[in-house]
Structure 1
Amino acid sequence: MKLLFVHLLNNCTGSPKVLAILLNELCKNNSLEISLLTSKTDGALSGIPNVKYHNNFYCWHENKIFRVLQFCLSQLRNFFYTFFADFDVLYMNTVLPFGAAIAAKIRRKQIIYHVHEVYINPGFLKKFYSWVMNKCASKVICVSKYVKDNVDFKDSVVVYNPVEKTEVPRDIALYLKRKFERKLIFMPTSLKKYKGVFQFVELARLIPDFDFLLLCSSEHSEMQKFFSETNLPKNLTLIGKQKSLEKFYREATISINLSLYDKCIETFGLTVLESFDALVPAIAPNYGGPKEIIQDGINGFLVDSYNLIQICECIQKIMFDFETYKNFALNARKRAEDFCKEKFLSGIETILESLGNKID
């Protein structure tokens, strides 16, 4: 079977990370021929063996006019490449590269949509993406029940995103003791107001005896420019984009997601899952995907991102004493095991096999 995967921007955010896990596994199957149409940027999708790469000509611009023009160019590239390419199944990672779906539909190819997002602005674009998906998709994969409930497509299934397991330290008690004593609050996110970055800054002011680390999927220079008019507290450190977050999770005491529910609801919460794998309790909004991962009061807390006093109280509850912290951390790791790579791959492969039978 010949598979064509399409993803708009290759960076180090959640959706390309998940696709990279899938491609790294599928490329081991000699009966599959895999092509990937994505941006020529360095990210999670770079350097996967046995994958044929094709450039979609997309790159992100700070200037909105250039960004729109670049987006339109990439959609033309998506359409024409897909229209003439040799493949059996098109795999759309996110709804964004719609040009490829339209071309594949014209050619009557099988089309899988892997939907990671439901909040798209402006609203007319969301309606357009949904219309294209409903006209083109053979099968829709949703990353959470929340996404499935918000996707208007009958033949959709939930396949939860996976976390790649890291090794458990030999001396877990010592590992957790160091985390507990470090008092480091970690938030990996995008450099957007609706991701709660300014709430994180204020939280750092409220708890001066903790260290706070904000890591964004942007260059450090962009972060400095973004916060240029903000008086940042001394206990807050800014870190630019990183290809791997493992070392930061290993240093962190607690991880936080502060997405503002009235502007953006997390559809899954991959950073929560990654922190759980590293035995890091998490605090996240009581909305969307995180509700399907966090067990409130057991491995973390579900909160209102605007209520900083409540968040401070949750941090104090987790850090009440070492035994309390250890229980939260161990419960977090146990929960991460429910989202193993094997379950994810089995779900995707079942869908590919069903479409392969239709092609045969």
Structure 2
Amino acid sequence: MRVLACHLLNDYSGSPKVLKQLLKGWVKNNLEVHLFTCGGREGFLSNLAGVKYHNFWYAFTKNPYLRLVFLLVSQLLLMLKVLAKAQKDDIIYVNTVLPFGAAIAGKLRGIRVIYHIHETSIKPAILKKILFGIVDRTADQVVYVSNYLANEGLVSSVKSVVLHNAIEEDWYQEKKQKEKHHNQEKHVLMVCSLKAYKGVNEYIELARSCPDYVFSLVMNSSQNEIDTYFKSTDLPRNLRLFDTQTNLHPFYNQAHVVLNLSKPDGWVETFGLTIIEAMAYQLPAIIPPVGGITELVSDGINGYRVNSTNLKDLKEKLELLLENPSIYNLLSLQAEKKFEQFREGAFIKKSLQILAIPSAASFQMSESNSR
């Protein structure tokens, strides 16, 4: 069996990272895996052993009109590539709703199409309607990353299943080899895109209001982009800014708490991979009160749910964690327990069942690694 996986923009964000895990797991289980993605970029999908690459043209631009033109051109190219490559018994696996050219090709050829949907916050609204309309008309099955997404009802006529994201086993084994730092300074960490709706500005204000803590902000952006964004901002001295990082272990290792401050009126988090990574390090988290991310953190159990626009509440919850060792240790223990639900072994096994692979029970990851 062959899987033709399709993803638009290869970078270091969450959706290509999840696809990378799937591709590696499928290769280990002796599937023939082909990846269709844009060329000329480095990201999580680069240089994966055993994966056969088929690149097509796409260039990201900040101009929304030009970006739409580039998207349409890229999907025409992708559709033609998939039509030329696909065979009747293949499975076309579309990662996010953007590589819709592959889904149209699959529909034209009568090939099974599976969509893996990570989020639905797409603008403008007309583009969102068109993209999900294509999903509705071309998909044989939809995979959602959270129950929150599955319950949104954007694709109601297609069979669906929830596959929560998981931590890579190699990542977890690397984490186990690291001794946790016990810094006297109390460190707060947030990892996100450099977008206002991600709560970047609120994080800056929180750092300013809590001068006794060290705040680290890791952004999926270049240093030039960071300098431009903050050129008119008076940054607090206890704040450290970092550009794109391929290794987050040192940051989690020194952190005491991890934040996600996405603003519910601008961006609803559908999952939250960095929160799972934080839980692997026994770190409590403060997250938004809505979205799929709430399936990871129970308020007062392994973290807190706070609207990032409420600076007073944010500060109170952060101080409650960092100034009360008994509360912190209890939430830290619960974070570690919660993490066990998001191990890679079960994730890959369920993905094979979604693909309807008869050998799913023979998943090659060792029993010891999946515990």
- TM-score of the aligned structures, taking structure 1 as reference length: 0.93
**Offset at 1:304?**
1.0
Aligned partner of 1:26 in structure 2 is: 26
Cα distance in 1 for partners of 2:57, 2:255 equals 37
Which region of structure 1 is more displaced relative to structure 2, 59-68 or 182-191? Answer: 59-68
* Alignment CA distance shift 1:257-1:233 (3 Å): same
Query: Are 1:120 and 2:126 matched, yes or no?
Result: no
Q: Residue deviations 1:64-121, cap 9 Å, x none?
A: 4543333222111111111111341100000011111111101110000001011111
Aligned partner of 2:362 in structure 1 is: none
Cα distance in 1 for partners of 2:350, 2:84 equals 29
Aligned partner of 2:259 in structure 1 is: 256
Aligned partner of 1:199 in structure 2 is: 202
Instruction: Provide the aligned length of Structure 1 versus Structure 2.
Output: 351
* Superposition pairs of residues 279-290 of structure 1, within 5 angstroms: 279-290=282-293
Cα distance in 2 for partners of 1:135, 1:86 equals 19
* Superposition pairs of residues 290-301 of structure 1, within 5 angstroms: 290-301=293-304
Aligned partner of 2:274 in structure 1 is: 271
Letter in structure 1 aligned against 2:14: G
1:34–1:51 Cα contact (<8 Å) kept: yes
2:11–2:44 Cα contact (<8 Å) kept: yes
Query: Are 1:129 and 2:131 matched, yes or no?
Result: yes
Cα distance in 2 for partners of 1:253, 1:66 equals 42
Aligned partner of 1:336 in structure 2 is: 339
Cα distance in 2 for partners of 1:183, 1:249 equals 12
* Alignment CA distance shift 1:100-1:223 (3 Å): same
Cα distance in 2 for partners of 1:243, 1:68 equals 29
* Alignment CA distance shift 1:29-1:354 (3 Å): closer
Q: Residue deviations 1:227-250, cap 9 Å, x none?
A: 111111111111111122222111
Letter in structure 1 aligned against 2:168: E
Cα distance in 1 for partners of 2:97, 2:356 equals 22
Letter in structure 2 aligned against 1:188: V
Partner secondary structure for residue 54 of structure 1: strand
* Alignment CA distance shift 1:171-1:246 (3 Å): closer
**Offset at 1:333?**
1.4
* Superposition pairs of residues 107-186 of structure 1, within 5 angstroms: 107-150=109-152, 151-153=154-156, 154-165=158-169, 166-167=172-173, 175=180, 178=182, 181-186=184-189
Cα distance in 2 for partners of 1:171, 1:263 equals 37
2:33–2:50 Cα contact (<8 Å) kept: yes
Cα distance in 2 for partners of 1:75, 1:245 equals 33
Letter in structure 2 aligned against 1:113: Y
Aligned partner of 2:46 in structure 1 is: 46
**Offset at 1:152?**
2.3
* Alignment CA distance shift 1:354-1:137 (3 Å): farther
Cα distance in 1 for partners of 2:176, 2:330 equals 16
* Superposition pairs of residues 3-14 of structure 1, within 5 angstroms: 3-14=3-14
Aligned partner of 1:37 in structure 2 is: 36
1:220–1:238 Cα contact (<8 Å) kept: no
**Offset at 1:126?**
0.8
Partner secondary structure for residue 283 of structure 1: strand
Letter in structure 1 aligned against 2:19: L
Cα distance in 2 for partners of 1:188, 1:328 equals 20
Letter in structure 2 aligned against 1:162: A
Partner secondary structure for residue 27 of structure 1: helix
1:2–1:86 Cα contact (<8 Å) kept: no
1:22–1:345 Cα contact (<8 Å) kept: yes
Q: Residue deviations 1:44-72, cap 9 Å, x none?
A: 11111010111121232234454333322
2:135–2:155 Cα contact (<8 Å) kept: no
Partner secondary structure for residue 24 of structure 1: helix
* Superposition pairs of residues 194-233 of structure 1, within 5 angstroms: 194-233=197-236
**Offset at 1:263?**
1.2
RMSD: 1.9
**Offset at 1:169?**
5.4
Partner secondary structure for residue 298 of structure 1: coil
Cα distance in 1 for partners of 2:143, 2:271 equals 13
**Offset at 1:327?**
2.3
1:190–1:218 Cα contact (<8 Å) kept: yes
Aligned partner of 1:317 in structure 2 is: 320
Identity of aligned residues (%): 39
Cα distance in 1 for partners of 2:76, 2:238 equals 47
Aligned partner of 2:364 in structure 1 is: none
Unpaired runs of 5+ residues, structure 2, are 360-371
